[in-house]
Amino acid sequence: MKTLFAYTVLMLTSVNLFAQDCKSAVTQTDMNSCANIAFKTSDKKLNEAYQKLMDNKDMNFKNLLKESQRSWIKFRDNDCKVQSYPTRGGSAQAMVRLDCLKERTDQRYNELNSMLTCEEGDLACQPKL
């Protein structure tokens, strides 16, 4: 009996390992999990760019950035609720919402990152810290 239990635990563990291969995800649960991983990765990058911008010594800029980011997060979350609304109640709703969150987060990362990598003549860019 203990052998059967150990074998079952081993099989369940290996199924979870395979589930993380997002290129081969076939079940909706795996696709939802992969969408969550992708969003978390994008969110981490965004937070790193945001923190770099928050290192700016100008308190007015920091306050404006903080207010802007809070408004943007609210917009992103609400927009993705709207985008995933047609799939409400279905197993794909989480994936659709997470894909939207990732896409919006990547867009915001690009916006913030462009402030960190000023090109000559870009008047909207923040000076190098």
What would the two tokens of residue 89 be?
């109640």
Q: Where are the alpha helices (DSSP H) in 1-58?
A: 2-19, 28-54
Q: What pLDDT band is residue 95 in, cutting at 50, 70 and 90?
A: very high
Query: Is the residue at 53 inside a domain?
Result: yes
State yes or no: pLDDT of 126 exceeds 80. no
CATH number of the domain where residue 39 is located: 1.20.1270.180
Parent domain of 40: 28-116
For the chain, the maximum distance between any two Cα atoms, rounded to a whole number of angstroms, is 73
Considering the chain, what percentage of its residues have pLDDT values greater than 70? 78
Query: Is the residue at 2 inside a domain?
Result: no
Query: Is the residue at 19 inside a domain?
Result: no
Find where tokens 């997002």 sit.
22
**Per residue in 44-77, pLDDT tens?**
999 999 999 999 888 999 999 999 999 999 999 9
Q: Are 19 and 30 in contact (CB under 8 A)?
A: yes
Query: Is the residue at 23 inside a domain?
Result: no
Q: Are 64 and 43 in contact (CB under 8 A)?
A: no
**Per residue in 98-116, pLDDT tens?**
999 999 999 999 999 988 8
Structural domain count of the chain: 1
